[in-house]
Amino acid sequence: MHPAFSVIFFTTASGAGYGLLALLGFGNALGLVPAAGWFGFWSLGLALVLIAGGLIASTAHLGHPERAWRAFSQFRTSWLSREGVAAVSTFVPFAVFGIGWVFFAKTEGVWALPGLAAAVGGGITVFTTAMIYRSLKPIHQWHNAHVVPVYLALALATGALLLNALVHLWGHAQPAIGYLALAACALAAWLKHRYWRFIDTTKAVSTPETATGLGARGKVRLLESPHQVDNYLMREMGFRVARKHAFKLRRIALAALFAAPMTLTLLTVLAPVGAGTALLTILAALSAALGVGVERWLFFAEAKHTVTLYYGATDA
Amino acid sequence: MTAYTPPTGKQLGLVIDLDTCVGCHACAVNCKEWNTGGHSAPLPDRDPYGADPTGVWFNRIHTFEAGEGATSRTVHFPKSCLHCAEPLCVEVCPTGASYKRVEDGIVLVNADTCIGCKLCSWACPYGAREFDDDDGVMKKCTLCVDKIYNETLPEADRVPACVSTCPASARHFGDLGDPDSAVSKLVADRGGYELMPELGYKPTNRYLPPRESKAKAGCTGAPAALETRIDPDALHPVLRWVDRILSR
Ligand code: SF4
Ligand code: SF4
């Protein structure tokens, strides 16, 4: 599948934003994050920028962005529609939580509730995003049980790295948050590893033989394609990354998304807190941002659509 | 709603005979011709005579080789929307622009409400949906909804453009929801099948498999060797005499 920049940016940025929002909501209820208004302003602000920026970017690839409001209507069947509804609904408790925290310095008791609601809403939104891909039967690398856990775990991991950087910058560093980031990264790495093993060892049930129904005669191969040049289908669905490059990019993703941030975070937990550790947490978050971009690019580039079976692919 | 009512009655569709299709692309050309002025008009057509022509086609003709060696078959394979009974393309549409008609099962896109998110084209395993970059909306086969019910046309012409034009009569149109229709009987007689049944879309269109090749002349019903066709008794007496002399 063609890796469109707007969709990669949207899914990774909003994922990290919702992960951060969820941790702020829960962290606040548990008293793990500083209650200072300015901390609320900067951390919720960052979550807002990531979420809203992602949502705006996601409309950039639409043929008719001005009609985007129509996408809220089909939530009964469409995961894309549900994503839109979940994203917009989450803004309500998010706004109440933010206003209470930043303008009225209220974070305790009932004021923690909108934070929890926003956290749950963020989780649901990431879940619906993942389900858009998970529900597409023609794409074996998406239509499997590994996709949703990876999306959720990566949102949590990238959000946790951001939160760790924020508390360090605010001078409220605490090992619990560092350990949380480490655990979330480890979980995401394990799930992503399982995903890669799954797509490396399994193939779609559909083949050129089932696609044409001519399998009874033996192997089926494309003799003449309908057109001499690429059409929309091939440009959108026929994108393939060479195996060699995919493996190289997987290593880059593993290093930048997991190995580097985990090492840096471990240092921040072990070393005495100071300007140095704050810098390390920022580096960890930046590295993860790069890594998750590569990971998401691969998520598209390594996905094969059954339509390619009509255009010469031998498997999907 | 993008939730569709599974068809219980009429389900219009095509039956494509892979035995007789000669791969001439006439159906694709007439499809483009009709539909660039029809329900989903116009169909983009950029650089049509240049080095990199690109545009929307509802119907494309692939050619496959099935089997290997002396017994392999070249099979021309036209493919357009199969108007599935369980179209995921419709379910995933966030706007309701994609819909399946209850009255005849035709799957259509409303170009006035489509936001051009392309998700439906990802959800179609068959590659039946193509994006129109000029209009920013999705386009697909309409089963010539503007032709098959068109009362200004003679009745014989109220079939999809691809069916009208096929010089090999390899394309048949009718109600596949009715087991007694001519197309349903054809499917039953010839062992018509679904494409990628494993995905569960329950496509309406059916494909008729190529018939077995006949390796020997005798199998086709033709005489194995040519024999004289002259009946001497029916000839003019002079020619009969010539025949007798020459036959000696
Ligand atoms: S062939 Fe594709 S576009 Fe047509 S109804 Fe089936 S899934 Fe939808
Ligand atoms: S491209 Fe249009 S028809 Fe297709 S899913 Fe999106 S809104 Fe619906």
Chain B residues close to A137, C-beta within 8 Å: 88, 123, 125, 199-201
Low-confidence winner among A53-62, B186-195, B224-233 (lowest mean pLDDT): B224-233
The answer, yes or no, to whether the previous bond of A226 is cis (omega within 30 of 0) is no
Cβ <8 Å between A71 and B95: yes
pTM of the model: 0.92
What CATH code is carried by the domain that includes residue B194?
3.30.70.20
For residues A176 and A112, the answer to whether their CB atoms sit within 8 Å is: no
Taking the CA atoms of residue B174, residue B179, residue B185 and residue B187 in that order, the dihedral angle to the nearest 10 degrees is: 80
Nearest Cα to Cα of residue A78 among B111, B84, B99: B99
Cβ <8 Å between A227 and B60: yes
Task: Classify residue B100: in a domain, yes or no.
Answer: yes
- Catalogue all structural domains in chain A, each as residue range(s) with its CATH number: 5-61+68-214+229-311 (1.20.1630.10)
Task: Classify residue B219: in a domain, yes or no.
Answer: no
- The mean pLDDT value for B124-144 works out to 97
Specify the 3-state DSSP secondary structure of A2: coil
**d(Cα A184, Cα B248) in Å, to the nearest integer?**
103
- The mean pLDDT value for B103-117 works out to 97
Hey, whose CA ends up nearest to atom 7 of ligand 1? B124
Ligand 2 center–CA B95 separation, angstroms? 7
Residue type at A156 in one-letter notation: L
Ligand closest to CA A61: 2
* pLDDT at residue A147, as a whole number: 98
- DSSP for B70-126, written as a single string: GG-EEEEEEE-----SS-HHHHH-SSS-EEE-TTT--EEE-TTT-----HHHHH-TT
Residue type at B189 in one-letter notation: D
Look at residue A173 and tell me whether its pLDDT is greater than 60: yes
Backbone phi and psi for residue A141, each to the nearest 5 degrees, phi listed first: -70, -10
Longest CA span, chain B: 88
Q: Which residues of A62-96 are buried (b: 16+ CB within 10 A; e: fewer)?
A: bbbeebbebbbbbbebbbbbbbbbbbebbbebbeb
Instruction: Tell which atom from ligand 1 comes closest to the C-alpha of B82.
Output: 1
Nearest Cα to Cα of residue A291 among A256, A249, A261, A263: A256
* pLDDT at residue B240, as a whole number: 85
In this prediction, residue B2 has a pLDDT band, given cuts at 50, 70 and 90, of low
Look at residue B233 and tell me whether its pLDDT is greater than 70: yes
Task: Classify residue B7: in a domain, yes or no.
Answer: no
List the domain range (segments joined by +) for residue B98: 12-208
- The mean pLDDT value for A248-274 works out to 95
Region of B105 on the Ramachandran plot (φ > 0 left; ψ -120 to 50 alpha; else beta): left
Q: Which of B1, B40, B120 to mutate to test the pocket of ligand 2 (most atoms within 8 A of CB)?
A: B120
Question: CB burial class (10 A; 0-12, 13-18, 19+) of residue A6?
Answer: middle
Nearest Cα to Cα of residue A229 among B121, B29, B132, B54: B54
In sequence order, what are the beta bridge partners of B139? Answer: B130
Distances (CA, A) of A18 to A120, A154, A157, B237: 9, 11, 11, 105
Work out the minimum CA distance from B69 to partner chain A, whole angstroms: 10
Cβ <8 Å between B114 and A63: yes
Q: Where are the alpha helices (DSSP H) in chain A?
A: 5-29, 37-60, 79-104, 112-134, 147-169, 175-201, 208-212, 232-237, 243-253, 260-270, 275-301
Chain B residues close to A231, C-beta within 8 Å: 54, 57, 60, 130
Work out the minimum CA distance from A182 to partner chain B, whole angstroms: 35
Give the distance, in angstroms, between the CA of residue B203 and the centroid of all CA atoms in the same chain.
13
Question: CB burial class (10 A; 0-12, 13-18, 19+) of residue B43?
Answer: buried
Region of B173 on the Ramachandran plot (φ > 0 left; ψ -120 to 50 alpha; else beta): beta
Hey, whose CA ends up nearest to atom 2 of ligand 1? B124
Look at residue A205 and tell me whether its pLDDT is greater than 50: yes
Ligand 2 center–CA B93 separation, angstroms? 5
Work out the minimum CA distance from B224 to partner chain A, whole angstroms: 28
Hey, whose CA ends up nearest to atom 4 of ligand 2? B120
To 10 degrees, what angle do helices A147-169 and A275-301 make? Answer: 160
Specify the 3-state DSSP secondary structure of B67: coil
* pLDDT at residue A242, as a whole number: 85
A238, HSE (Cβ side, Cα atoms, 13 Å):
17
Report which secondary-structure segment, H or E, holds B161.
helix B161-165
**d(Cα A104, Cα A82) in Å, to the nearest integer?**
33
Hey, whose CA ends up nearest to atom 6 of ligand 1? B84
Report the share of chain A in percent with pLDDT over 90.
94
* pLDDT at residue B1, as a whole number: 43
- DSSP for A11-28, written as a single string: HHHHHHHHHHHHHHHHHH
Task: Classify residue B38: in a domain, yes or no.
Answer: yes
- The mean pLDDT value for A267-283 works out to 92
Ligand 2 center–CA A60 separation, angstroms? 15
- The mean pLDDT value for B129-147 works out to 97
Query: What is the predicted ipTM?
Result: 0.95
Work out the minimum CA distance from A106 to partner chain B, whole angstroms: 38
- The mean pLDDT value for B155-163 works out to 97
Task: Classify residue B40: in a domain, yes or no.
Answer: yes
* pLDDT at residue B6, as a whole number: 61
Look at residue B221 and tell me whether its pLDDT is greater than 90: no
Task: Classify residue B243: in a domain, yes or no.
Answer: no
- Total count of domains within chain B: 1
Find residues 145-174 of chain A whose CB sits inside 8 Å of chain B: none
- Partner residue opposite B66 with nearest CB, options A135, A220, A305: A220
Could you tell me if the CB of B124 is within 6 A of ligand 1?
Answer: yes
Which of B24, B56, B65, B212 to mutate against chain A (most A CBs within 10 Å)? Answer: B65
Ligand 2 center–CA B219 separation, angstroms? 52
Find residues 67-126 of chain B whose CB sits inside 8 Å of chain A: 67-68, 71-75, 77, 79, 88, 90-97, 113-119, 121-126
Ligand 2 center–CA A62 separation, angstroms? 9
- The mean pLDDT value for A266-292 works out to 94
Work out the minimum CA distance from A38 to partner chain B, whole angstroms: 39
